[in-house]
Amino acid sequence: MIVYFDNASTTRVRDEAAEIMLKTAAEDYGNPSSAHAAGRRAAGILEAARSHVARALGASPGEIVFTSGGTEANNLAIFGALDALRGKGRHVITTAAEHDSIRRTFQKLSQSGWDVTYLAPDRTGRVTLPDFQAALRPDTALVSVILVNNEVGAINPVGGMASELRRQNSGALLHTDAVQAFCKIAFTPKSLGAELVTVSAHKIHGPKGAGALFVKSGVKLAPRTCGGGQERGLRAGTEAVPAIAAFGEAARLAASERDENAERAGKLYEYTVRLISEKLPGAAVISRGGSPYILSVSLPGYNNENIMNFLEGEGVCVSRSSACKKGAKSHVLEAMRLPRDVANGAIRVSFSRYSTLEEADYFVDRLREASEKLFKVLR
């Protein structure tokens, strides 16, 4: 049996999106910037996809900038905003549990003279509003806080942060990486109070190579690439129309199925947790009360690389942390200040609309076998 429980890394492209991607690549291959009929057809497909993504996000089409994915969108949001806000302050706020595309961007800002405050998460993986309130300063120019943590599923109080920015009459822009939240939990940029929101196709059964940045109307960004002026001058380069068309279709369908899929994921999450508690009483469930799609669980005292390799040999795909870390230790779990044996034995299990209870049964049985056959690491 093959069980794919690594959907926070990437999801299977759904048939409807794959069909549109192939059709667009084969038949509607014009450059959307070209003035002839083939170009106009491609431009029409591009704008239809923009409308689908905007509707799924609760935005207007003119506020959607297509990118190659979440990483590029995050970079455009942070560097683009700060380049446009020169002179508005040199202080920025983020968390110590961000995706690497945010974390490494802020490290670069720090090396360039920006004063960076890293909010520490609690044992659930969330940052708190009192900590944010204490960190906010008159010279804060930008706040970037992930909405749903990509490793433990914790949901941060981004809306509360926006309210605090308004209460203090702060001029700081608010950005959130919503890649793991888009079409999975209920939110809109307006409900969050965020000026900049990152989303991606391949987390919602669309293809890799397509993402988007919501830029609230009136917010100014400096472009990161220069060229032909595509995407309102914010992201030069010919758009990947086939991938974007598939993104639009995946977003349209995922938005229509959001509540149904979330309910199914929640039942699967609780079922898996119950099985683990029954069959592996020594296991530690790290994530609680967050996204139903992401479950972080640990076999304390074991090496998570050995666990992952054992499971792979049994046909189960999970991960140690974010796929972008390529097996490195999790900075998220370190920031949560978990005991070393818990952090070192942690794996991430993540579900999708295709995940089943039968797969959960198989996964937990194989995880129990791992605990029986692998040796604990002596420290």
**Residues belonging to the active site:** 324
Do 336 and 125 form a contact (C-beta atoms < 8 A)? yes
| Alpha carbon distance 189, 178 (integer Å) | 10
Closest CA to 5 of 224, 316, 324: 316
What is the distance, to the nearest Å, from the Cα of residue 174 to the centroid of all Cα atoms in its chain? 16
Q: Give the total residue count for the chain.
A: 379
**Residues 6 or more apart from 108 whose CB is under 8 A from it?**
none
Distance separating the N- and C-terminal Cα atoms of the chain: 35
What is the distance, to the nearest Å, from the Cα of residue 342 to the centroid of all Cα atoms in its chain? 24
Q: Hey, what are 120's tokens?
A: 């520490």
- The angle at the Cα of 273, spanning 267 to 277, to the nearest 5 degrees, equals 145
Q: Hey, what are 310's tokens?
A: 């054992």
Q: Hey, what are 211's tokens?
A: 């993402």
One-letter amino acid of 234: L
Q: Hey, what are 158's tokens?
A: 């981004």
| Alpha carbon distance 312, 289 (integer Å) | 28
Q: Hey, what are 113's tokens?
A: 């003279």
Residue 69, classified by CB atoms within 10 Å of its CB into exposed (0-12), middle (13-18) or buried (19+), is buried
| Alpha carbon distance 255, 229 (integer Å) | 30
Q: Tell me, what DSSP letter sits at residue 63? A: G
| Alpha carbon distance 40, 56 (integer Å) | 24
Do 63 and 216 form a contact (C-beta atoms < 8 A)? yes
Closest CA to 78 of 159, 165, 161, 175: 175
Do 295 and 273 form a contact (C-beta atoms < 8 A)? yes
